Structure 1
Amino acid sequence: MSTTGPAALPQPVLVRGTGLLGTSIGLALRGRGVEVLLHDPSPAALAVAQDIGAGRAVDLEGAPAGDDADTPVPGTVVVATPPDVAGRVAVDSLVRWPEAVVMDIASVKASVQAEVRAAVGNGPLTEADASRYVGTHPMAGRERSGPVAARGTLFTAAPWVVCAEEGTSAAAVAAAEALAGSTGATVHTMDAGEHDASVALISHLPQVAASLVASRLQETPAASLALAGNGLRDTTRIAASDPQLWVQILAGNAARLVEILHGVRADLDRLIGTLEAPDAPGARLDIARLIAEGNAGQARIPGKHGAPPQAFAVVTVVVDDAPGQIAAVLQATGDAGVNVEDLRMDHASGHEVGMLEISVLPGRREELAAALTERGWKVV
């Protein structure tokens, strides 16, 4: 057993599933000197994950737990499979390795937890076995999927939720927190039901909304799409996500999401009714209220580093579409002694220039605008 890495994380760590998240976990742990074993039903995915350095591929099929000298005996098993099989694989792992801590990283928790609980008493698990299981969920991802999209830094500063039950052992909780910490994530604790309700609103609803908006673009003339700016791109960015994965996520958390969608439908019905008679008394006020309600909700989203929301001023600079332009503007901003709070780029339609939007503290806006203008940059 390896002695490197965090002491609370029993090693070696076996990652069952070498998609984006599983492979990224392997890369992050390997960067901390942790011994990582990899398994996946797909030989191609497994080979890619091993080739990029996420760990050592092992063959588990048909191997008895610890009886064969060539069979790895993991101290921790991370179930990184799709949500619809995560519970079954977690139960299998608890049976295969009677001393290992087993955790899953599925994006829904109550259904996986229930499947593990169902295997106690009437199935192959004892209460002691189930105590070695803990559900977790790293709140990170990309629009791209598969091991080729994996990054060892994927979880840096991201929330990682640990959903322990009353009977979960302290060692299992410590291992889950150590794993999250080893990837650079920030640990949050909540029960499975609270987790599923939270992600239905802050993750699953945005995905559905983005996909529904983007689906309206399928037959849109190219001339209309040429007018699109960052508003459309921002709104539809996550619509590029993997359909197969989202089928499983949405089905697994359907009850929580449907409740929220009923509320969204009520708001849409209200807006449609108002816009069908936009000149009726009170119609414009109702539209203003709806937008204001959105303002109020958006203002509650945590700001930089998780701090309370803060309004920033924006300095917009026109830059040529050429190498080094963005770096030069940022260097000039640093030379002026102004900190960049946020950054985004909007490309001008029909012109080979971009609009670089630099967010700064309100009191520094005029100072930065003057400094950049003095250095020859065109500030809008």
Structure 2
Amino acid sequence: MQPSVSQNHYQILGVAATASAADIKRAYRRLVVQYHPDKHGGDIRYEEQFKAVAVAYGILGDPGKRATYDFQLAQAVRRLDEERRRQQYRPASQHVYGVPMPPPAPLRTRPPAGSRERHYQRIPKQQPRFNGRDWLLTLLFIGGIVLLALAVKVTMDRVSATSNYENGVRAYASGNLGAAYSFLEETLHFRPDYAPALRRHGELELLLQDAPHAARADFKAALQTPDLSPRDKAATYYYLGRSEAKLSQPEAAEQSFTFSLKLDSTCSAAHLARGEVRLLDLQQAAQAEADFTAGLAQRRRAGQAMPWHFVQLRGLARTALQRYDEARNDYFEVIRANPTDGRTHFLLGKLAAHTGDSAAACEFYRRAVGLGYEYAQAAEKGCK
């Protein structure tokens, strides 16, 4: 095939006629990728260019074929130069053999290649590979999503817990203990370690459900957290002591009441409760009398209602200490506040018997029986 001067193989590959074999090979590889039909949706123009590049390299890439091609190309250039010189001296109206000269046709190397001659190969698609950096980024992304979900859950749980706790406190203050208990249950569902809710829930376990074991567990859990103020901590120790007293654990109850008073010495309820444990369970009359006196004095100073039950217990402690006049004053103070209290009449009878006044003792026993205090019946029979 004779070479075309209008577009020779060197021009197709975009290299000089003096290019080295390595330069020709690099140009071929670059153009094969550039004109590959798969990259252009099968466009016929790129297919022709791809084929022309393959033909050019098939000749220029072979040293023997390239030498022959260079020789033919040089002859073609020489013939073209001679033709141009003849055209310069030929008149425009010159005819050859009586026929006008046709316009010069464009030179081609050969007709376009048909579909059967297309022997290109598909470039295989590369499968993506995960390297170490990709795995690290993926894990970090998943970890970020998990942390975000946990943060949202914790935030929502805290919001729900706070809302339920506030509703529970309002219900508690209004005396609706059943509703308060339900709200506090919901609070602890969302925040099991929420100390204020544990404390209130324990109080309702003790007062409403009469479940001292469950109440004690709530109070101990609340005391393990740093969320309680000293005053709330003192109240929690007080209720813990009451739970322990109900569970017949007087030593533990006394210790809890003592912790409460160390945190808040003005807690009259802790004084009175510790005095009751010391008197009735630990047989410590002197310490009990001191607790009753301190607690009752605090309530008087605060203008609070007098708990006559503890005035009565102080009378018992003073009787055990043989401070009979002070004990009698306590009993009469209770009777003045509650004349129908048969138990106090009975205690006055016991006090009269201690002092040797049997007539007064029998009179108080009869009054106690008349007021319905059954335990005085045996003592009254001894008077007959």
TM-score bracket, shorter-length normalisation? under 0.3
Q: How does the TM-score come out when normalised to structure 1? A: 0.23
Greater share of strand = 1
Q: Kindly indicate whether structure 1 or structure 2 has the higher relative contact order, using CA contacts under 8 Å at least 6 residues apart.
A: 1
Report which of the two has the higher share of helix.
2
